[in-house]
A = this chain, B = another copy of it.
Amino acid sequence: MEDVVVLWDEKVTLRDPVLVEGLPGVGNVGKLAADYLKDALKAKHLATLYSKYFPPQVYVNEEGVIRLVSNDLYYVKGGRAPARDLLILVGDYQGLSPEGQYELTDRVLRAAKEFGVRELYTLAGFAQGKLVEAPRVLGAATSQGRVEAMKPLGVVFSRTDPGGGLLGASGLFLGLGRLYGMEGVCLMGETSGYFVDPRSAEAVLRVLSQVLQRPIDLSALESKAKEIDRIAAKFREMEGKPSPEAPAQAREDLGYIG
């Protein structure tokens, strides 16, 4: 079988589209943000990518119907000028192996190139190893020009973070994207790294909304973040108590990443 199988729903033409990527990772920030973005902008499904670089796994929904793990491309057309068309990549997994990461990223970029993508934004979390009250959005970009363009939007370019560079799809999309002549920025929401973090995703989307010049209603994400806040508070409160089950339950509610 092909390393990456791409099934297209339809043939579509996009005008100077921007690619947005958000896959599972630290705090699931990138995935939360990209999934929310596609829903909020009522993006249409364009293609499904299956691959032997994903685990051999199917998900089963509540009705008992299976779905093979995948990455998926959505698109958004039109919108009020100067908003541009969008391609959004979401998915269940990043590639399992280094080779898989490269092959999958390259495959998506090749498709994006055919749609005329010249610019891309990758969404991710940045683990601080401690609870973060008001997450900042850190940035990394393909050029000095992109760095300067992001600073007025409140994106922080730190001399020290991320020190060891970026591992995974969000960095690789920028790195390989340059070989396709694309410019881009990785937007990293600060997060503890212990929980799924909608508040960090919200911070990332606030920046992205300005970048894309598209208003995004963030209220649903906001209430999800508040719910997590409540559970986290309960969790901290319970930590001193003797019951071992309660924190475990709260941990589950938090989508605890072990």
Contacts and interface: CB of A to CB of B under 8 A. Distances in A.
A152 interface: no
Contact of A53 (B98, B158, B166, B172): B98
Contact of A62 (B64, B143, B159): B159
State the main secondary structure of chain A at its contact with B: mixed
Interface stretch (A127-135, A173-181, A204-212): A173-181
Given A103-B1, A147-B63, A157-B64, A171 B56 contact: yes
Copies of this chain present in the complex amount to 4
A253 interface: no
A257 interface: no
Contacts of A175: 50, 57-58, 66-69
Contact of A147 (B7, B64, B157): B64
A68 B166 CA distance: 10
A186 interface: yes
A5 B230 CA distance: 49
B63 A102 contact: no
Contacts of A176: 50, 68
A68 B178 contact: yes
Nearest to A176: B68
A139 interface: yes
Contacts of A55: 98, 167
Contact of A56 (B5, B64, B69, B98): B98
A187 B159 CA distance: 36
B103 A143 contact: no
A219 interface: no
Contact of A169 (B56, B67, B142): B56
Contacts of A62: 159
A105 B68 CA distance: 13
A63 B171 CA distance: 16
A66 B172 CA distance: 10
Contact of A66 (B52, B96, B186): B186
Interface string A19-47: 00000000000000000000000000000
B140 A179 contact: no
Contacts of A178: 68
Given A167-B57, A179-B50, A174 B66 contact: yes
12 contacts: A7-B179, A50-B176, A50-B179, A51-B102, A52-B99, A52-B101, A52-B103, A56-B105, A58-B165, A58-B172, A65-B142, A96-B98
